[in-house]
Chains A and B, each alone.
Chain A
Amino acid sequence: METLLQQVVNGLSIASVFGLLAVGITLVFGLTGIVNFAHGEFLVQGGLVATSAIALGLPFPIACLVAFIVEGAIGWCVERAVFRPLAAQPVLGFIASLGLIIAMQHIALKIWGSNQIAIDAPLKQVLAIGDVRISAMRIAVTVITIIVMTVLLVLLSRSRWGRALRAIAIDRETAAAMGVPVQAYVSATFVIGSALAGLGGALLLSLFPMSPFSGGVYTINGFAVAIVGGLGSVSGALIAAVILGMVEAIASGYVSPVWSSAYAFGAMIIVLLLRPSGLKGGGIA
């Protein structure tokens, strides 16, 4: 029982990272139809940027902010230079994202080297509730993610900005005709998605070490979450992130950790076969 509770907390912290990653994937897909396989590279790069910020003497929360801002800026450049010109050709956009993977991965290699990089956990305390011992860092990661996601969901469902985004996702032309500056919104979404991935990377780094080659596995996890949740749906992605995070934590606790990516893959296939539109198909919020 104690282990189960511990695995649940572990699962929630993993789910946080999955969620931060998948939101960008699902929003960008929902708005533009682009499958961006380089999204996991933004996560890894965010983590690596955070290590550099910490090496410069900045405290961890500021390092998270730096990763958030830097990846948002890189996301803007990539959207502007690569994905906007290819907006009408999703297949080419996908191939371009493959080129981005190679370029981003090896630029990271050049800057940070190929070794696994880890940081000292910013919060070392372990909370003991009875026999259950829970790392404070994992709770902090979960809480930060819950706050960010709540803000995002409220914005999406309540604000003008969110209403405009939902309108674009449903019918781009009509939204444009009603005076929504579609291009600006698409750019902003890409920037937010990349920035959230950067934040996810910084948070991930406080839990696990990473290397420039970690991106591929996280990309798959992000897509698995986005597909299980229904591509285009943010709340679906969050539900799926919690489910997959739990599956991964509990299965690695009780079965074997080496197959953890395979569980997400299996869940994705089962959902595709049984319910192709995902848990919450249609609708961006």
Chain B
Amino acid sequence: MIEKTLEPSVTSTASTFRAQILSLVALAIVLGVLPFLGINSQFMQICTLAFLWSIAAIGLGLLFGEAGQMSVANGALFGVGAYVAAIGAREQVLSMWTALPVAAVTAAFAATIIGAVALRVRGHYFLIITFAFAELWRISTVNLRELTGGNQGIMVLDPVVLPGVGEIDSLRQLFYLALVAVIAASLIVAWLRSSPFGRNLRVVRENERLAISLGLNAARMRLTAFAISGALAGGAGVLYAYNLKHVGPEQFGASAGIQIVLILLIGGARSAAGPVIGALVFFLLPLVSRLDPITTEILYGLGLLAIVLLSPQGLVPLFASLVKRAWRKKKPSILSTTS
């Protein structure tokens, strides 16, 4: 079963938390110096978008990696956040900063409702309902024209104003805003993973009957994890709307949800830096390979199949373990003294 492919131990926390923080700091430094290395504006823009998508993937990582529950709805929850920001800006009631908490709460609320329906009947139904919700969201944004602008979507023309700095509009400033958001989201999830809540989620994943007999409310814990992943997706959606300056129905259907799943699986559901690396691979690959978009999508589809069949714990962890193994072969003495 799935458990075998994931981390064997339920209780490991402290050391892995430190490792997660270290990998995040390293990632922040590496990515933080990128703009000073003379990268072009297209590259910087794509990195920014990759950061925002990776926030949604980080949230899904909590749900899938710890609670063992997959969802396709997070693409739509991302859209919930983006539309809250866009409608709030159009009606002149929300700035980006006020939209962030409103969108996070709205998306978490939406996730709670979907989850409450889906978790009444467990297992596969959850997946099916999340898929249905993702498509229903797309259909609704097309059809509720007065509210959502229909197929045309909504332009988001309000500037991003940072208190004390003023308007942020250069690509570099937006890049750093997104980077800060990614690191913040990663820290929240890393902390949740190492908290008693995260440990209980793993207990629920590994053995639900045992968890219930220990007095854990398994359904409510999964629902909470789903709501948190929704809140992160919603918050990321706000930043996404302000970055692209436009939201439309085709950006956030089931295909967006599948994209988040793919990003998560490239990076690995249980690693702190993984989703960010996964998103960068996902978005930079077409730029580097110069393939036409349709061929790229076919390769992504086949790539997702290959990952699931060959290395379901993710590509980045696979790569890391290969490097580790090569390292150990070179220095057998260390291994023999420690073991």
With the chains together, A100 CA to B132 CA distance in Å?
Answer: 17
Q: Which residue of A lies closest to B143 (CB)?
A: A258
Report yes or no: A223 in contact with B2, Cβ–Cβ below 8 A: no
Q: Of A89, A94, A110, A219, which one neighbours B124 at CB under 8 angstroms? A: A94
- A111 CB to closest chain B CB, in angstroms? 10
Q: Of B261, B295, B297, which one neighbours A95 at CB under 8 angstroms? A: B261
- A226 CB to closest chain B CB, in angstroms? 9
Asked if B180 is at the interface (CB within 8 A of a chain A CB), the reply is no
With the chains together, A96 CA to B306 CA distance in Å?
Answer: 9
Asked if A259 is at the interface (CB within 8 A of a chain B CB), the reply is yes
Report yes or no: A99 in contact with B304, Cβ–Cβ below 8 A: yes
- B224 CB to closest chain A CB, in angstroms? 20
Which residues of B sit under 8 angstroms from A86, Cβ to Cβ?
Answer: 308-309
- Interface SS of chain B: helix, strand, loop or mixed? helix
Asked if B230 is at the interface (CB within 8 A of a chain A CB), the reply is no
With the chains together, A231 CA to B68 CA distance in Å?
Answer: 22
In chain B, positions 95-144 with a C-beta closer than 8 Å to chain A are 117-118, 120-121, 124-125, 127-129, 131-132, 135-136, 139-140, 142-143
Which residues of B sit under 8 angstroms from A224, Cβ to Cβ?
Answer: 132
Report yes or no: B135 in contact with A216, Cβ–Cβ below 8 A: yes
Which residues of B sit under 8 angstroms from A82, Cβ to Cβ?
Answer: 305, 309
Q: Of A92, A95, A110, which one neighbours B298 at CB under 8 angstroms? A: A110
Asked if B312 is at the interface (CB within 8 A of a chain A CB), the reply is yes
- B57 CB to closest chain A CB, in angstroms? 14
Report yes or no: A98 in contact with B258, Cβ–Cβ below 8 A: yes
What 0/1 readout, one digit per residue, does chain B (290-327) give for beta carbons within 8 Å of chain A?
A: 00001101101111110011001000000000000000
Total interface residues in chain B, CB < 8 Å: 43
Report yes or no: A99 in contact with B136, Cβ–Cβ below 8 A: no
Determine the interface band of chain A, counting residues with CB < 8 A from chain B. 35 or more
Which residues of B sit under 8 angstroms from A92, Cβ to Cβ?
Answer: 2, 5, 308, 312
Asked if A102 is at the interface (CB within 8 A of a chain B CB), the reply is yes
Asked if A70 is at the interface (CB within 8 A of a chain B CB), the reply is no
Contacts A99-B300, A272-B125 known; 18 new A-B pairs at CB < 8 A: A29-B124, A95-B261, A96-B308, A98-B72, A98-B262, A99-B305, A102-B262, A103-B297, A103-B301, A103-B305, A106-B294, A109-B294, A220-B135, A227-B125, A258-B143, A261-B135, A265-B132, A276-B125
Asked if A17 is at the interface (CB within 8 A of a chain B CB), the reply is no
Count, A-B residue pairs, CB within 8 A: 127
- Interface SS of chain A: helix, strand, loop or mixed? helix
Which residues of B sit under 8 angstroms from A99, Cβ to Cβ?
Answer: 262, 300-305, 308
Q: Of B120, B136, B253, B297, which one neighbours A102 at CB under 8 angstroms? A: B297
Q: Of B70, B72, B136, which one neighbours A91 at CB under 8 angstroms? A: B70
- A102-B258, A106-B298, A220-B132 known; A269-B117 Cβ under 8 A: yes
- A109 CB to closest chain B CB, in angstroms? 5
- B5 CB to closest chain A CB, in angstroms? 8
- A222 CB to closest chain B CB, in angstroms? 10
